[in-house]
Amino acid sequence: MGRPLGPAGLGPGAGEKLLLRVRGAPLAPDRLWVSALLRRVEKAFLAQLAGATAQVRARWGLHSSPLLDQMVAELQQDVGRRLQESSERELRNAQSWVGRTALLREGLGRELSLDKAAQAPPLGSA
């Protein structure tokens, strides 16, 4: 809310693993939210890369040439592809984490119901 935003307008710690807790129960991050976050990070990084290549050209006095333009374009495409692959891998990791969280909740619920059944007085003993 009133906290400063990190790089590229993302919240602080946006790249860290997300584990939300409400009353001690972990909540899985929303798949669409994670996907949108990763896309924003990709876009921000590629924009920073474009700015950095422009600064290098200016600092070193590199004039535009077809070969230099092609090299920069290939670098940006390669980095973009690697970022996309990394984002897809992280999204799969988040999805598998969501699945594990659901299994843990299901197992915990079953364990709690078994504990309650074990604590209940035997039928007909009242």
Q: Is residue 104 a part of any domain in this protein?
A: yes
Q: Is residue 124 a part of any domain in this protein?
A: no
Q: For the chain, what is the domain count?
A: 1
Q: Is residue 52 a part of any domain in this protein?
A: yes
Q: What is the pLDDT of residue 92?
A: 87
How much is the pTM?
A: 0.56
SS3 89: helix
Q: Is residue 123 a part of any domain in this protein?
A: no
- Distance from C-alpha of 21 to C-alpha of 83, rounded to nearest angstrom: 29
Q: Is residue 37 a part of any domain in this protein?
A: yes
Cβ-contact 94, 31 below 8 angstroms: yes
| Domain extent at residue 88 | 25-113
The vertex-19 CA angle with 17 and 22, nearest 5°, equals: 165
Q: Which residues of the chain register pLDDT less than 70?
A: 1-29, 98-126
Q: Is residue 106 a part of any domain in this protein?
A: yes
Which DSSP string do the residues of 48-76 spell out, in sequence order? Answer: HHHHHHHHHHHHTTPPP-HHHHHHHHHHH
Q: Is residue 5 a part of any domain in this protein?
A: no
Q: What is the pLDDT of residue 16?
A: 46
Q: Is residue 86 a part of any domain in this protein?
A: yes
Q: What is the pLDDT of residue 22?
A: 45
Q: What is the mean pLDDT of the chain?
A: 74
Q: What is the pLDDT of residue 104?
A: 61
The predicted-structure confidence for 75-96, as pLDDT tens digits, reads as follows 999 999 999 999 999 888 887 7
Cα-flanking dihedrals φ and ψ of residue 63, to 5°? -85, 155
